[in-house]
Structures are given as structure tokens and as C-alpha cells.
Structure 1
Amino acid sequence: MSNKQSKKNENKKKYQQNNKNKTKTSLFSFRKIVFISAILTGLASYYVYQAITTPPDLPKLDLNEYWGPYPMKLNPDLSIRPYQIEFSDVMINDLKERLLHRRPFPPPLENTGFTYGFNSHFMTRVLDYWQNKYNFKEREDFFNKYDHYMTNVQGLDIHYMHVKPNVAGDIKVVPLLLLHGWPGSIREFYEIIPKLITPRVGHDFVFEIIAPSLPGYGFSQAPARPGLGPAEMAVVISNLMKRIGHEKYYIQGGDAGHLLGSIISTVFPDRVLGFHTNMPMLWFHPLAHFYTLLGNFWPKLIVEPELESRMYPWSEHVARLIEESGYLHLQATKPDTIGIALTESPAGLAAYILDKFCTMTNPSNKDSQDGNLLPKYSLTHLLDNIMVYWSTNSMTTAVRLYAETFNKRALSMRLDEIPTVVPTWGIKFKYELAYQPDSILKLKFKNYLHSTMVEDGGHFATFENPDIMATDIFDAVKTFREFHNVVGNPQDIDKSKLEKPETIYDFTVKDIYGRDVKLDKYKGFVLLIVNVASQCGLTDTNYNQLNELYEKYAKSRDFRILAFPCNQFGTQEPGSAKDILKFIQERGVKFDVFEKIEVNGENSHPLWTFLKRTQSGTFGDFIKWNFSKFIVDKNGIPVERFGPNVNPLDLEPYLAKYW
């Protein structure tokens, strides 16, 4: 029995040992798998990060590619020829016949306004006006009030308006290229041109206007073969400007005009003195989409709180884009199909175009029985734009640009991902199709200088708001000229407005008593600059520790703290200067406190604009909350940035690097 028991025990031990060894082996294998998986995940993440953050090379474009019909002329006429817009009697009679003999429209559903598309009751009114009250000859004269020209570029007859101002010799004339989009045309620019060629107070320049019809649009010839996408069209426009005699110029564009202006600024940055856009967007940048999606879960990471409603809730904005972008999918896939329908029917053309003017001006317009079109536009002006397409039979060739934009060849160029140093300025109307904050736009536009925020207006900016647009273009170009140091002396330039200062010593601020303080008084000091609030959950900890830091290092290490009250985060600094002064006196604050300011948005203090640009945050340069902190070295250069979650005393080892 003892032998049997002994063998039994021995077998039991062997079994336990084997199980133990198996467990160790399994555990080792599991750890090995986890380790290898972690390495592979890290490598994959690094590869993805590199792929989406490394800009592609500029595409190789043929700057003389021929787009005209074959056979090519051996000696093409490259002269610049005067051109007259004509509404021929044959065209007018044909149009009136079509309008007269149109079929009756099915009535709209009750109380639907424009929610099902263009309201047929209002369409009857539009077409009756077009047939009976639109004065074709008068409008022809209107179109010809400016000088028009035609010249052949790369095999295509390209039309453009050229308007030169008549000004005194002390006023500088600078060239401005105006680029339209779809379903717009050169007609959009007629109200803004007089404002751009007229001198105004505070500006010593006016504009010489060059406004081409894009190839295939209106009065410009369409290409004879596929492939004239945005990049190739940008080459044509660039060559047009050289033909006219302008090696350097400013650009303004929206819609397709924004896309072309962006590409010209990217491919030919030495030719563009500044780019003004009323649709500042990166449509094809993967990081822009990633940040936008991330902001759906934490909007404050991406966009300033006061502008959050322009982007989020994301689902609402995506729903609007889906509702309003059906035309885009159709034109990007079957442009000739929709082109045939719109070429045959003036009613169809009017409905298709004016529907965009309704909902892209303000999405709430669709609830109105007349699309709320007439408070913003006159029927004559709207029909002028439609006449550009109808009289030239160019709708089919115009919408082909969408097919040439949204295809594998064009998208593979990744032009939105290639940075440009051309100074850029955006104006953002409230009801534009989409909104992106400056932090996203700076992924491409490295010298994105300013955004003008407008609490109204939509997609057709120059048509709808010519006064606002003209003022903004003047302000933008004045800033561009200062950026290039082409006006005045360098010491006269307002560096804070340009976001081009080199140190904080270039700024003047007001202290809590309202007195001007030039920051060059802090030369030789290490600084901590912080936005503060007196009613925040972080107030006690931060104020106590800021006091402690100041007492420890103000004298021994030439250290100073500059605190700027701000009420932009949860309205937690609502008081007046007197209230803030009382608060800091009760706390025994010894560091320097300044006048209440804004740190984000259009009215952001120039110092804080500079701090944010120099030390960008993790998900954008805007300030996220109270008690964000910047360390500035003894040379006045912002060197490190910390979020509200970092307590002041935690900064001691970082400050020590700059003593």
C-alpha cells in the first residue's frame, strides 16, 4: 500500500508540476502575444500618423496642356480681343416661346413652402416675370457696362471682365482676381465692383478687377476632352493673369472660386500676394475630418464655445449637408444627364438654380412660400445670373467641373493637404454650408491671419452682402500689404493685428486700473501668463498657488505673473474692473492683474492671439477654459503651454529651465 501511495503522490506531483509548467508557458505566450500586438499597434499608429500628417509633394502639372478641339491651329490667335455680351433676338424669341408654352406644374402640397423643393406657385410668378417683364435689351446693356475681353489660353477662348479704376496718382492700384463658383457667375460681382474701385478712408489703394468666366461657364469655352479639373483650371487662370500682364495679384473666391484660389496659392505661391475667401474650408484634409468628428464628443477641444453652434451638434449639420448636397452627387456622377434636362427647359434651369439661392442663403428660407428670396435679391438680378447659363447653353459644361473634382485622379493630388505660405483671410457667414475654425484652416494656410465672423448671410456672399464683402476685402488686402511690408516703414506696422510679432514685448496692454502697460517693461523676466476668473471651481487652488509661486520666485529668480481676467468660460468673471480689484485685494494678490479681456473669438486680445499661435494647443490653438498658462522666457518668447488642469506649483520644474 505504501508503494502504491507513494506512486500516487509522485504522479500527483508530476501532474501539478506539468499544470504549473503549462500555466507558465500559457502566461508567457499570452504576454508575448500582448507585447507583439502592442508593438504592431504602435507601429501601425505611427504609420497612420505619418501618412496623414506628412504633406504630399506638389503634383506635376503641364502648364501648357492643350484643352481645345483638334486639329490644333499652328498659329493660334493669342491676342486679347474686346468682347460684347449679346442677347440675340433668336435666343430671346426661342426663350419666350418656351416660357409661353410651358406645361402646367402640379400644385405644391399644402403648407410645404420649399421643403419639397422649389414651390411651383412661386415658380409661375418667376417665369411670368421672365417672359413679360424682364427687359432683355436693358439687361444686355447692363452686362456691358464693364469692359469684357476674350483671349485664347491653352486652346480655350477665355472670357473675363476687366475694370480699371480712375483715381488720383497718390492712390495705389492693385490687381484683384475675382473667382465665382456654381451656380453663380460673373453676374455676382456687378454690385461689389463699384465699391472696390472707389477709394475709401483709411486705405491708400483701390482695386483693378479681373473677373473671368471659368472654363465651361458662361462666356468661356469648355474643354473638348476630360481632365480639366480644379488643378488644371487653376493653371488656365494663372496663365490668363500672366497674359493680361499681372505676375503678382490678390485673389478673392468662394465656392469653386475658393477651391481655385486655394490651389493657385498652393501651386503658384510666388504669384499670389494674398488670398481672401468667403468659404474657408478644407474639404479633403483627413485631419480636418478627424478633428471635426472628435469635436462631436468634446466640442470645446475644437471650436470656441461662442461659435460651437456653427459646427455642433454634428448630426444636425450633417443632416443639412445631406439634404442640400443631392445636386453635388448628381453632378459629380452624371453631369451630362442633368445638363440635358436643364438645357431643354428654362423652367427647369430656373428652379434648379434658384432653389440653391433659397436654401444656401439661409436654410430656414425653405419654410417660406416664396423661399424668402425677394428680401435678399430682386427677380431681375436672379434672372441675370440664369441668363448667363441660358444664353450661352453652358449648364452642362459647367456642372462637369464636379465630375472632374470628385474623381480618383483629382483627389489623389491631395492638394488640400499641401501647406501654403500665402497670407490668407477668411470671412465666415453664419449660414454658409459648413464651418471650420481657424485651428483647422491653419493645417493648410500657415499664414492664416484673420477670420471675420458675420451673424447673417450665406453662400452667395458678394451677391447678397456686397457692402460687407467690399469692406472685408479692403481690410484683408491692407493687412496683406502690411504683411509684405509694402506700405510705410516697418516700425509703423501694427504687428499685433498681423499676428506677426516676434515677442510679447511688441504688445501694449491695459492694467486693472485702465492704464497702458508696454510689455517690454518685463524684459529679462521669466513670465507666467494666465487667464483667470473669480467664480470658477479652479479659482481657490490657482489663486493660492499663483500667490505662492510669486512669493517664492519674484525676487530670487526675476519671475513675474501676468493675470488676465476673462468672462468667456461659463461667465465666471462677470464683474466690473472695480469688482475684480476688490476680489484680488481681499485675496492679497501681489502679482500683476490686467484689464478683463477676451482670449478667443473675433475680439480676442492681440497678445492672446499671439500666445495661441506661438504655442498651439493639442486640439487647436484656442483657449479651452479658465487658468490656461503660458511660460515666457527672458527673451519674451512663449516657450511652453499648460492646460487648466495643471496647477501652478506643478510648473516649478518647467520654470526652472528658464531661470
Structure 2
Amino acid sequence: MPDPATDVRAFDAHAPEADLEDLRKRLAAARLPEAETVDRLASGRRRWDQGVPLADLIDVVEHWRTAYDWRPFERSLDRIGQFRTAIDGLGIHFLHRKSPRADATPLVLTHGWPDSIVRFIDVMDELADPKNPEAPAFHVVVPSLPGFGYSDRPATTGWGTERTAAAWVELMGRLGYDEFVAHGGDWGGNITTVLAGRFPDHVLGIHTTFAEGPPGLTTEGLTPQERTWTVETRDFWRHRAAYAKQQATRPQTIGYSLVDSPVGLLAWLLDKFAEWSDSDDSPFEAISRDRILDNVTLYWLTRTGASAARIYYESHNALDPDLRVDVPSAITIYPRDVERCPRPWAQERYRKIVRWGTPERGGHFPSMEVPELFVEDLREGLAAVLAARGH
């Protein structure tokens, strides 16, 4: 008989219509504050100086209530293939898009916050079954982080990035992938770094949009551009990271609003998509309104606003300063990302960088903002990684 502790089961996501109707009623009954007090003539990002502008929020809420349809996203998950399995006592949800190609390489993609599996929904098919037969193909696995989406919400502390990385190794092994490549951004990039550093016998190599050198490195010898990156990254953490401090110290407090109020949840997440994407006035310049609402609605229907926020409580500033990555690594720094690490700093941790990319477009969510560019860059990076391993 199958062992329920290791069994992988197909999963069907279907929200009760009553939950969708409740969402629409809550949106219709929302109480909103007065407009922000920034200069009414302000344009571009200056309009967002105090957070999501009231007019923009009203527009998105109305669309969410009257026009947005959740069902196509559910169908896309079922078409790709979604599953659940228990690992280390916790139910883990994941998408699994197998390639028809015999030469495909297993690939795990890890999302972060404020996104979810939605981060990769538009690139999985092309990675698994590329239109160009000469392009590399991958068996693509996209897990939902603990506390996110359809994965279980941990009832105790301890589900940080190290434990999650170990769970991913177990997950890939259950699928028959003892060796694999990995990619991630945001928390997913952090977890991908841990995967490569802790489990080099399983991880052939990595591609990441997150790179963090060990602490205490000097700016001496950096190029002017790299110095600018360090200044802007430091400015981000000093002046624009209150969300991280809140979630790292009091995730339960903000969690009440995120689980009880769809408008509060929308504003909390939308603010980051606006600030962190490669856009000048609205996140919808880079990512479609419905795709962002797919992400927000997933948080809402699964009641994971609080549990997802706890990843900061578990792992904020927790990356081991002594961790080193000796498997081949490809790193891409997108121009409008909020953290950009100089290559000399990255090389102190990732000691076998086989490709370093700096595209002309893209922000923190490249697979959502510039999916074609992202796929091309990921393929080139992983091709370099596999070539370095002799694959």
C-alpha cells in the first residue's frame, strides 16, 4: 500500500462559488481612507510616495469585483498538473510540467514574496516544451513555499529557508529526480543558494536573480556602476523596507488585516509589485492586471496572508555568512531590481560563476514582466551550468 507520508497525489484546485461571492461582497463593502496627501500634480513614481494611490486602488478593486474571473487560473493549474505530498510533516503543493523530450533536465523553480507559483505560470510550458527544438528542455517543478498557496500553513516555528531547501531535495527525489538544476528569485533565490551550498551532490548547478555576498565586504575596486548598486541597495533596506521589518517581527499583527480584508491584502501586495517592477507609473505597465489579481486572489482564497508573511520571521537575515556555493552558478542582475549585488561580492560566495547577465529590461519579477527575455536568459544560464558539469 502507498505510504501516506511519502505519497504524491494529484490535486484539484476549485474554490467554492460561495467564497468568490463572499470576496465580491467584501470588496463592495470596503471602507477606504481619504486620498493620499502627495502633490496632486505628481506623476510617475512620485504618485506612490505614500503607497498605493487611492484612485488606482479604487480602479483595481472595481475590476476585481465586477470583471475579474478566477476560474481560468484554476484551469491553467489543472492543465499544467498540480500535486501535493507530505514532507517533514507538512503538506507541500507543487506544479509539475513534464517535458516530452527525452533529453530534458529536471528543474525546480522557487518563488518568493509577495508572489507565489503565479510567478512562473507563464514560462513553464516554454521551458518544458520549447518551440525551438534546438533549445534545452526541462522537467519543471514549481513548489508552493510552506505557508503559501495550497501548501500547508506551518503550526510551529522552524520552517525557514534551510528546512525548505532540504524539503525540495526530498520532493525532487520522490519525483525521480536525484540530480537537478535550480532557479529562484527573492526568497526563492535565497533558497536556491542554500540548495546549492548544502546539497551539491543533488544540485547540478543554479541560476538565480538573487545574489548575496558574505557580510563585511569592501567597495574598494568596484566599478562606478557597482558602487551605485551598493548605495541603492543600502537605501532600499534603510528607507523602503518597513514591510520586511513588520513581517520579520510582528507577522501575526499585520496578518489579521491580510486575512480579513481583501482590500488590505491587495494594497499590501500591490505596493510591492509597483515599486519593484520595471515600470514608471503603474505595475500594470509591466504585468497584466489579471495576472496580479491571480496572485492576490490565491493569497485570499487560501487565507495565507499571515502564514506567508512568517517567512520573514523565520529567515530574515538568516543566510549563513559562511555558506559557499561550489556548483556552477549563473547569476542575472535585472536593472530595476531592488537588490543588486556586485560581481566581486557575489564571487566571494558563489565560487564558480559560469555566466553573469545584466539585461536591459526587467525588475524583481522578470518571469512575469519580461517572460520571453527571462526564458532566454534562464536557458543560456542553465546551458552554461550544464556545460560546466559536462552534461
Distance in 1 (CA, whole Å) between partners of 2:139 and 2:131 is 15
Q: Deviations over 1:541-579 (max 9, x none)?
A: xxxxxxxxxxxxxxxxxxxxxxxxxxxxxxxxxxxxxxx
Equivalent of residue 155 in structure 1, options 72, 89, 94:
89
Compute the TM-score of the two structures, normalised by the length of structure 2: 0.93
Q: CA deviation at 1:479?
A: 1.4
User: Counterparts in 2 of 1:39-78, with a 5 A limit?
Assistant: 76-78=4-6
Q: Does 1:381 align with 2:299?
A: no
Q: Deviations over 1:165-192 (max 9, x none)?
A: 224x5xx111110000001111111111
Equivalent of residue 106 in structure 2, options 163, 175, 178:
175
Compare relative contact order (CA 8 Å, sep 6+) and give the higher one, 1 or 2: 2
Q: CA deviation at 1:273?
A: 0.7
Decide whether the 8 Å contact of 2:226 with 2:341 is kept in 1: no
* Aligned twin of 2:271: 355
* Aligned twin of 2:34: 106
Equivalent of residue 441 in structure 1, options 321, 332, 346:
346
User: Counterparts in 2 of 1:23-42, with a 5 A limit?
Assistant: none
Which letter maps to 2:378? Answer: I
Cα 1:181–1:277 shift into 2, 3 Å: same
Distance in 2 (CA, whole Å) between partners of 1:117 and 1:445 is 36
Unaligned ranges ≥5, structure 2? none
Q: Deviations over 1:390-428 (max 9, x none)?
A: 110011111111011137xxx4xx624222211000111
* Aligned twin of 2:356: 451
Which letter maps to 1:227? Answer: G
Q: Does 1:419 align with 2:324?
A: yes
Distance in 2 (CA, whole Å) between partners of 1:139 and 1:191 is 11
User: Counterparts in 2 of 1:176-575, with a 5 A limit?
Assistant: 176-199=107-130, 201=132, 203=134, 205-282=136-213, 285-287=214-216, 290-291=217-218, 295=219, 301-303=221-223, 305=224, 307-308=225-226, 310-311=228-229, 314=231, 317-362=233-278, 365=280, 368=281, 372-406=282-316, 411=318, 415-486=320-391
Distance in 2 (CA, whole Å) between partners of 1:431 and 1:450 is 20
1:415 aligned counterpart, secondary structure: coil
Equivalent of residue 63 in structure 2, options 129, 135, 138:
129
Decide whether the 8 Å contact of 1:281 with 1:441 is kept in 2: yes
Compute the TM-score of the two structures, normalised by the length of structure 1: 0.56
Distance in 2 (CA, whole Å) between partners of 1:99 and 1:434 is 34
Q: Deviations over 1:4-43 (max 9, x none)?
A: xxxxxxxxxxxxxxxxxxxxxxxxxxxxxxxxxxxxxxxx
Which letter maps to 1:401? Answer: I
Distance in 2 (CA, whole Å) between partners of 1:202 and 1:438 is 33
Distance in 1 (CA, whole Å) between partners of 2:387 and 2:48 is 46
Cα 1:226–1:317 shift into 2, 3 Å: closer
Distance in 2 (CA, whole Å) between partners of 1:203 and 1:481 is 15
2:153 aligned counterpart, secondary structure: coil
Q: Identity across aligned pairs (percent)?
A: 28
Q: CA deviation at 1:317?
A: 4.5
Equivalent of residue 10 in structure 2, options 75, 82, 106:
82
Cα 1:272–1:334 shift into 2, 3 Å: same
User: Counterparts in 2 of 1:4-19, with a 5 A limit?
Assistant: none
Q: CA deviation at 1:384?
A: 0.3
Distance in 1 (CA, whole Å) between partners of 2:161 and 2:323 is 15
Q: CA deviation at 1:274?
A: 1.1
Decide whether the 8 Å contact of 2:258 with 2:305 is kept in 1: yes
Distance in 2 (CA, whole Å) between partners of 1:153 and 1:161 is 16
Q: CA deviation at 1:200?
A: 5.7
Decide whether the 8 Å contact of 1:265 with 1:275 is kept in 2: yes
Decide whether the 8 Å contact of 2:97 with 2:125 is kept in 1: no
Which letter maps to 1:160? Answer: F
Decide whether the 8 Å contact of 1:310 with 1:435 is kept in 2: no
Q: Does 1:115 align with 2:49?
A: yes
> Aligned pair count?
383
* Aligned twin of 2:99: 165
Distance in 1 (CA, whole Å) between partners of 2:105 and 2:187 is 23
Q: Deviations over 1:262-314 (max 9, x none)?
A: 101111111001100012223xx223xx31xxx2xx5xx123x4x346426x2
Distance in 2 (CA, whole Å) between partners of 1:140 and 1:115 is 35
Higher gyration radius (CA): 1
Q: CA deviation at 1:111?
A: 3.5
1:469 aligned counterpart, secondary structure: helix
Q: CA deviation at 1:78?
A: 2.4
Decide whether the 8 Å contact of 2:82 with 2:95 is kept in 1: yes
* Aligned twin of 1:583: none
* Aligned twin of 1:543: none
Decide whether the 8 Å contact of 1:150 with 1:157 is kept in 2: yes
Decide whether the 8 Å contact of 1:162 with 1:209 is kept in 2: yes
Distance in 2 (CA, whole Å) between partners of 1:454 and 1:233 is 29
Q: CA deviation at 1:202?
A: 8.1
User: Could you say what the CA RMSD is over the residues aligned between the two structures, in angstroms?
Assistant: 1.9
Q: CA deviation at 1:76?
A: 4.0
Decide whether the 8 Å contact of 2:181 with 2:205 is kept in 1: yes
Which letter maps to 2:222? Answer: I
Which letter maps to 2:15? Answer: F
